[in-house]
């Protein structure tokens, strides 16, 4: 399943525009201050019923596979997803990477997870 970065960001923002900015230093006009862009990652989880995935931007430089628990706070079961070092590099380059979760120990269902990162 391929998803464009635009479709992914729109899904995260619920169809509205998502701006990834934080406050910069300084102040006032001409004071050298301004908006500072902030790197971040986000996921779209198909068939989601409370699962959450947080990938730290620092993890994108890992030379080993990274596995994340996506249980979230509103579910009674867990899944994990794993990103290879090559997939982490794809995320760092701005590519949407889709992986399949492990099966639920309750009923065997899985989730397709599309992760994307915006790096500045």
Give the model's pLDDT for residue 37. Answer: 83
Closest to 113 in 3D by CA, of 102, 105, 104, 39: 102
For the chain, domain boundaries: 5-118
The verdict on pTM exceeding 0.95 is: no
- The span from the first CA to the last CA of the chain, in angstroms, equals 26
Mean pLDDT score, 70-82: 94
Mean pLDDT score, 110-120: 96
Give SS3 for 49. Answer: coil
Give the model's pLDDT for residue 71. Answer: 95
| 59-70 residues labelled b (16+ CB within 10 A) or e (exposed) | bbeeeeebebeb
- Please write down the HEC assignment for all residues of 3-38: CCHHHHHHHHCCCCCCCCEEECCCCCCCCCCCEEEC
Task: Please give the biggest Cα pair distance in the chain.
Answer: 60
Q: How far, in Å, CA of 86 to CA of 83, rounded?
A: 8
> Could you tell me if residue 12 is left (phi over 0), alpha (psi between -120 and 50 degrees) or otherwise beta?
alpha
For the stretch 16-49, pLDDT in tens is: 333 433 334 444 444 456 677 889 999 999 999 9
């Amino acid at each position: 399943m391929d998803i464009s970065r635009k479709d992914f960001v729109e899904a995260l923002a619920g169809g509205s525009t998502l701006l990834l900015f934080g406050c910069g230093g300084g102040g006032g006009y001409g004071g050298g201050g301004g908006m500072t862009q902030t790197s971040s990652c986000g996921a779209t989880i198909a068939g989601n019923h409370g699962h959450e995935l947080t990938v730290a931007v620092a993890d994108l430089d890992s030379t080993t596979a990274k596995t994340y628990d996506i249980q979230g706070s509103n579910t009674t079961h867990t899944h994990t997803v794993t990103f290879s070092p090559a997939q982490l590099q794809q995320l760092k380059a701005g590519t949407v990477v889709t992986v399949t979760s492990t099966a639920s120990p309750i009923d065997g269902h899985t989730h397709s997870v599309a992760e994307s990162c915006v790096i500045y």
